[in-house]
Amino acid sequence: MRKTLTAPTSTPAPARTRRTWVGVLIGAALVALAAVSLLIGASNDVSVSSLAKGDGDALFLLAASRIPRTVSLVLVGASLGIAGLIMQMLVRNKFVEPSTTGVTEFAVLGMLIALVFWPGMPILPRMAFISLFALAGTWIFLRIIRFVPVRTLVLVPLVGIMLGGVVGAATTFFAYRLDLLQSLGQWSQGSFATVMRGRYEFLWVAVVMVVIAWLAADRFSVIGLGEEFATNLGLDFRRVVAIGMIIVAVITACVLVTAGVLPFLGLVVPNIVSLIIGDNVRRAIPWVAGLGSVFVVACDIIARVVRFPYEIPLSVVVGIVGAGLFLWLLLRRRGRVH
Amino acid sequence: MSMIRPLSALSLVAASALVLAGCASQNDAEAAAGGDAPAGADETIEFTFENNIAGEDEEPEYESVTVNVPKDPENVVIFDMASLDTWGSLGGAPVVGAPLDSVPDYLADFVADDAINAGTLFEADLLEIEAAQPDLIIVAGRSATLYDDLREIAPTVNLSSEGSFEETLERNTTFLGEVLGAEDEAATALADIEAQLAEVRELTAEIETGLSVMVSGDSLSALKPANGDYSGRNLRGGLVYDLFGVAPITDDIEAATHGEPISFEFLTEFDPEYLFVTDRNAATNEEGAQSADVVLDNDIVHETTAWKNDNIVYLDPTAWYIVFGGLQTTQIMIDDITAGVA
């Protein structure tokens, strides 16, 4: 708080131009990476020259495979970043995101149940079903967190990771008993290898959630200051929390159904953005969305190139890069106040 | 969870080290009958196999193990579906124990009606097996790691792959034929399969290129030819190339149990003449039904030669993924390929 009070009087102009420049940089990186993403793939038909010539095969692959894949990467990156950001505001903790609060594990449990009882369920009802589980997971996490007496920075995600561990163990147990362990692994492993036209469109549901998050952005900033503060400002605290929970749950479910589990992303991206521009949600949303997209597109390009023309699972790349950044954030903070 | 342990260079020797051992009286009887000895109560067959003594996920390390197997055993527990297949096909009595949940329909008759559930393809219910007092236990591949526990209960043999698919099939069929006193049936069945394989290879020789893929969930992976390394992760999909002689579209596929992930674009780029599909969804989850055809029915696959020429061959998921071995199963596999490429 003190910082925001003093900042405008001391150094307003340079900080702002620096931010603008980083923003431009993220935008440029996204455009460049998206272009690379369009040109990389198992097929060699798509190249700058073949596209310029209007080659039929190249245009077909571009439309049927490359553009859907790149668009879905951008959407997943943006929405997962936003889900992390909202979650962090709800819990008032920098180290939470769906995969460190058990929400992802609840969603995977929902997916397993859907798989066992309604194997032929169409994708939209399945997504709604998984969303319900993710919602229950968020709710349970928030309830448990209330009873944690000392909310130190790392204790909250630790509780979340333990909750996720318990739910994950239950899921694994049932998958094991039902001989679905390998199928479950296959389904929840994050990968965009088979994304194509007609298989990614419901990701737009996640975009709707991002728009809602953006519209309600100021409210999330306020609840990030605490329940009493928010109520004093005349905000319906519970309702805003409920909206936030729904946003997080639906985004988690959309991404799980389309691509699988991509860990750490919702944690790393908002933290980096917060380092650059601070904690104002409305201002942070486009940044988080942009940086999240850059992160996922870049990781997917690595996943496609390492064993070309085969692919390695995207979640492996995201996990390695994300875990590295997570550690960096953690150690960097400990060096300071806590 | 590796499936079938790799072969050591010496295993061919082991495969041929199948000998009839017997006491003096048996030799006399044999001499008198001038052929097979009649089944006696304490008559045994000596069987030698290479057992992997390294732990899971470690570099395999083999030790030669010789087991005295009773002839014509009454109570038999079989963990390996391929062995169950050959056992039953050679006229063995229905087994008293097996991983019941994994027995495919076409092998159901080979299991006794009141058989105990011995566990899963990977794990054993030791108490149940102990109570059933078996005379012989057979493990292989997925269940090979159970060997040390099971040998405490009853004579146990590990029929894991040693050498190529055909070498393993020949060794196991010959061995089970001797155990059952059905040597002639075993030889006939093997000769029949060899002859059919030769016919199928003539058909596949006319195919220029093929690619074997596995569909799991929504994703797609390419399977690899064994190139002489017949460890478990190369089996199954690799059989399309190794056993049936289909020329792979590319040799550069990393060995992996479930193949290497590929995109649909991969199919258009390499564009094999034939696509051989193993549907893992259907193999492991019967209610899910054949979903590989739904996964493959899309704009990009429609552009491939295999789709345009209707050359997408769906392999029987149970035979190719769960069992892959055994006399009846090999017949199913032969029929699959014959029908696919004819």
Q: How high is the mean pLDDT in each 10-residue block of chain A (338 residues)?
A: 45 64 91 92 80 82 90 94 92 89 94 84 87 95 86 85 95 84 78 83 91 92 86 88 94 90 90 86 91 95 88 90 85 59
Please tell me which residue of chain B has the smallest CA distance to A195.
Answer: B263
Greatest distance between any 2 Cα atoms in chain B: 72
Of B217, B222, B285, the CB nearest to A310: B222
User: Is the per-residue pLDDT at B234 higher than 70?
Assistant: no
The tokens describing B118, both together, are 């011995």
User: Is the per-residue pLDDT at B233 higher than 80?
Assistant: no
For residues B250 and B254, give the distance between their C-alpha atoms in angstroms, rounded to a whole number: 11
Q: B22, B31 in Cβ contact below 8 A?
A: no
For residues B336 and A299, give the distance between their C-alpha atoms in angstroms, rounded to a whole number: 40
pLDDT (tens digit per residue) in B35-63: 444 444 568 888 988 888 776 667 778 88
- What amino acid occupies position A298? A
The tokens describing A65, both together, are 């495979």
Provide the phi-psi class of A123: left if phi over 0, else alpha when psi is between -120 and 50, else beta: alpha
Of B265, B281, B289, the CB nearest to A65: B265
Question: Among candidates A255, B242, A260, A287, which has minimal Cα distance to B251?
Answer: B242
For residues A227 and B257, give the distance between their C-alpha atoms in angstroms, rounded to a whole number: 52
Highest mean pLDDT among A263-267, B315-319, B327-331: B327-331
The predicted structure's pLDDT at residue B6: 42
Question: Among candidates B262, B243, B222, which has minimal Cα distance to B319?
Answer: B243
DSSP, residue by residue, A318-333: HHHHHHHHHHHHHHHH
Q: Do the chains contact at B217 and A183, CB–CB below 8 Å?
A: yes
How far is C-alpha A243 from the chain's CA centre? 17
Provide the shortest C-alpha distance from residue B285 to chain A (in Å): 8
Provide the shortest C-alpha distance from residue B148 to chain A (in Å): 23
The tokens describing A86, both together, are 């909202």
Question: Among candidates B224, B237, B328, which has minimal Cα distance to B277?
Answer: B237
How confident is the model over B77-95, as a mean pLDDT? 95
Across A152-156, B154-158, B196-200, B263-267, least confident range: A152-156
- pTM score, whole prediction: 0.79
Angle at A132 between CA A131 and CA A136, to 5 degrees: 115
Please report the residues numbered 276 through 295 in chain B whose beta carbons come closer than 8 angstroms to any beta carbon of chain A: 280-281, 284-285, 287-289, 295
Of B216, B265, B280, the CB nearest to A41: B265
φ, ψ of residue B76 to 5 degrees: the values are: -120, 135
Q: How many residues does chain B have?
A: 342
CB-based contact, A49 to chain B, within 8 Å:
no
Name chain A contacts of B298, Cβ cutoff 8 Å. Answer: 196-199
The tokens describing B178, both together, are 């001797």
- B336 confidence band (pLDDT: 50, 70, 90): very high
- Residue ranges in A178-264 assigned as alpha helix (H): 181-188, 204-215, 217-223, 227-232, 237-258
Half-sphere exposure (CA, 13 Å, Cβ side) for B273? 11
Please tell me which residue of chain B has the smallest CA distance to A192.
Answer: B263
The predicted structure's pLDDT at residue B19: 39
Please tell me which residue of chain B has the smallest CA distance to A114.
Answer: B288
Instruction: Please return the burial class of A207, using the count of CB atoms within 10 Å of its CB with bins 0-12, 13-18 and 19+.
Output: middle
CB-based contact, B268 to chain A, within 8 Å:
yes
A contact test, residue of B103, B117, B218 with most A CBs within 10 A:
B218
For residues B25 and B107, give the distance between their C-alpha atoms in angstroms, rounded to a whole number: 38
Question: Among candidates A142, A136, A259, which has minimal Cα distance to A206?
Answer: A259
For residues B306 and B312, give the distance between their C-alpha atoms in angstroms, rounded to a whole number: 6
For residues B35 and B52, give the distance between their C-alpha atoms in angstroms, rounded to a whole number: 35
Q: pLDDT averaged over chain B?
A: 81
The predicted structure's pLDDT at residue B98: 95
For residues A77 and A69, give the distance between their C-alpha atoms in angstroms, rounded to a whole number: 12
Of B101, B218, B263, the CB nearest to A42: B263
The predicted structure's pLDDT at residue A334: 56
The predicted structure's pLDDT at residue A136: 96
Q: B161, B141 in Cβ contact below 8 A?
A: yes
Helix (H) or strand (E) holding A14: helix A12-39
CB-based contact, A118 to chain B, within 8 Å:
no
The predicted structure's pLDDT at residue B224: 78
Please tell me which residue of chain A has the smallest CA distance to B287.
Answer: A119
- Between B126 and A57, where is the model more confident? B126
Please tell me which residue of chain A has the smallest CA distance to B271.
Answer: A43
Q: Report CA Rg, chain A.
A: 20
Distances (CA, A) of B34 to B8, B22, B31, B187: 37, 15, 5, 19
CB-based contact, B253 to chain A, within 8 Å:
yes
CB-based contact, A10 to chain B, within 8 Å:
no
Q: Do the chains contact at B268 and A44, CB–CB below 8 Å?
A: no
Q: Do the chains contact at A194 and B218, CB–CB below 8 Å?
A: yes
The predicted structure's pLDDT at residue B187: 95
The predicted structure's pLDDT at residue A258: 86
Q: B247, B183 in Cβ contact below 8 A?
A: no
Q: B3, B39 in Cβ contact below 8 A?
A: no
Of A120, A196, A309, the CB nearest to B300: A196
Q: Do the chains contact at A196 and B269, CB–CB below 8 Å?
A: no
Name chain B contacts of A196, Cβ cutoff 8 Å. Answer: 264, 298-300
- Residue ranges in chain B assigned as alpha helix (H): 11-16, 24-33, 81-89, 126-132, 147-150, 165-180, 183-204, 239-242, 264-270, 280-284, 292-296, 299-302, 305-308, 317, 327-341
The predicted structure's pLDDT at residue B251: 65
Angle at A314 between CA A309 and CA A318, to 5 degrees: 135
Q: Do the chains contact at A43 and B220, CB–CB below 8 Å?
A: no
Q: β-strands B62-70, B44-52: how paired? A: antiparallel
Name chain B contacts of A65, Cβ cutoff 8 Å. Answer: 263-265, 300
For residues A294 and B206, give the distance between their C-alpha atoms in angstroms, rounded to a whole number: 48
Distances (CA, A) of B303 to A54, A60, B272, B339, B341: 18, 10, 12, 23, 20
The tokens describing B17, both together, are 């080290």
B contact test, residue of A301, A304, A310, A312 with most B CBs within 10 A:
A310
